[in-house]
Amino acid sequence: MEDLVIRAACLDDAAAISTLVQRTVRISNGKDYPANSIELIVANFAADKVGERMAERDVFVCQQGDRVVGTIALGGDRLRTLFVDPDLQHTGIGARLVDHLEAHARKGGVRELTLSSSLTARGFYERMGYRLIALEEHDGVSTFLMGKLL
């Protein structure tokens, strides 16, 4: 895909990021988690919460034309909030966002990235070289703690 740009996000992007994440959670993660867990996650990605978290994370968006089609963030040594528009998944955007974030983290001195993977994304992260560290559970939502040496 030619016209994709990955750039640092700003506060003005919070609403578009919120819309993207909430839609992706419902469509993609909805296959793997019960409805009450999905709604907890959706509530956690309201635009105001996305905006507040930008103060403590480096957030990036992948933009196609004027549309935000993917997002990823770095908080400390943790890869966070990777979501790709369901209509464009399996076209390489997720891998590009992870490559971008790993390069950014490396520049900032991070030696090992960790993340909390959804059940949905585990195979993707394994493909990207992350290893399983532990199974975790928060508020009844199961995730996989994974890590990769940079």
Ligand X SMILES: CC(C)(COP(=O)(O)OP(=O)(O)OC[C@H]1O[C@@H](n2cnc3c(N)ncnc32)[C@H](O)[C@@H]1OP(=O)(O)O)[C@@H](O)C(=O)NCCC(=O)NCCS
Q: Which is nearer to ligand X, 19 or 120 (CB)?
A: 120
Q: Of 125, 118, 126, 121, which Cα lies nearest the Cα of 142? A: 118
For residues 90 and 111, which CB has a smaller minimum distance to ligand X in the complex? 90
CB of 95 to ligand X, least distance (A): 3
Helix (H, G, I), strand (E, B) or coil at 60: strand
CB of 70 to ligand X, least distance (A): 7
Cα(143)–Cα(118) distance, rounded to whole angstroms? 5
- Looking up tokens 């907890």 gives 40
Q: Does 29 bind ligand X (CB under 6 A)?
A: yes
Write each residue from 95 to 114 as x if it is in contact with ligand X (CB under 6 A), else as -, in one continuous string. Answer: x-------------------
Record the tokens describing residue 48, joined without a space.
Answer: 């105001």
Distance CA 46, CA 10 (A): 16
Residues that bind ligand X (CB under 6 A): 24, 28-29, 82-84, 89-95, 117-118, 120-121, 123-124, 127
